[in-house]
């Protein structure tokens, strides 16, 4: 990345990690961490136990031709455990906050 190390207080990566090939993810994360003074925030989908992501993504491709879903299949969705392992190996604090889906509309 064309920025000096520690250029930003916080670095945010939104819906990017799942588009990075597995073998390149550590390098990508290293670059994010190098540019941040305080923290890195990753906002993206992760693999979820019990969910067949391949079938779900293939359905997106078949029905609407979703280009992004093709890349998700090629690169695979990241595992939370991999990000936690990356962080632990480098002495970084890692906090996971899952998105809470609202299954039904709120009542007023």
Q: How far, rounded to the nearest angstrom, does the alpha carbon of residue 69 sit from its chain's CA centroid?
A: 14
Would 3 be classed as within a structural domain?
no
Evaluate whether 87 touches 30 at the Cβ level (below 8 Å). no
Distance CA 17, CA 80 (A): 11
The answer to the question of residue 107 being in a domain is: no
Query: So what's the pLDDT on residue 103?
Result: 53
Provide the residue range defining the domain that includes 56.
8-90
Averaged pLDDT for residues 98-102: 68
Q: What pLDDT, on a 0 to 100 scale, did the predictor assign at position 68?
A: 86
Taking residues 84-106, report their average pLDDT. 82
In a domain, 53, yes or no: yes
Residue 95 lies in a domain: no
Find, among 40, 38, 45, 10, the residue nearest to 28 by Cα. Answer: 40
Poorest-confidence range of 39-43, 65-69, 76-80, 92-96? 65-69
**101, part of any domain:** no
**Domain contains 102:** no
Residue 2 lies in a domain: no
96 located within any domain: no
Q: How many domains, in total, are found in the chain? A: 1
d(CA 73, CA 45): 12
* Tens digit of each residue's pLDDT (9 = 90 or more) over 9-22: 999 999 999 999 99
State the pLDDT at residue 56.
86
Q: What is the DSSP string of 27-84?
A: HHHHHHHHHEEEEEEEES----TT--HHHHHHHHHHHH--HHHHHHHHH-PPPHHHHH
């Amino acid at each position: 990345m064309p920025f000096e190390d520690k250029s930003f207080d916080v670095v945010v990566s939104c819906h990017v990690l799942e588009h990075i090939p597995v073998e390149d993810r550590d390098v990508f994360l290293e670059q994010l961490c190098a540019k941040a003074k305080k923290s890195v925030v990753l906002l993206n989908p992760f693999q979820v136990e019990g969910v067949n992501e391949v079938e779900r993504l293939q359905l997106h491709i078949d029905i609407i031709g979703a280009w992004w879903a093709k890349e998700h299949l090629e690169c695979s969705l990241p595992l939370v455990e991999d990000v936690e392992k990356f962080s632990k190996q480098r002495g970084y604090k890692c906090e996971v906050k899952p998105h809470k889906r609202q299954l039904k509309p709120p009542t007023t």
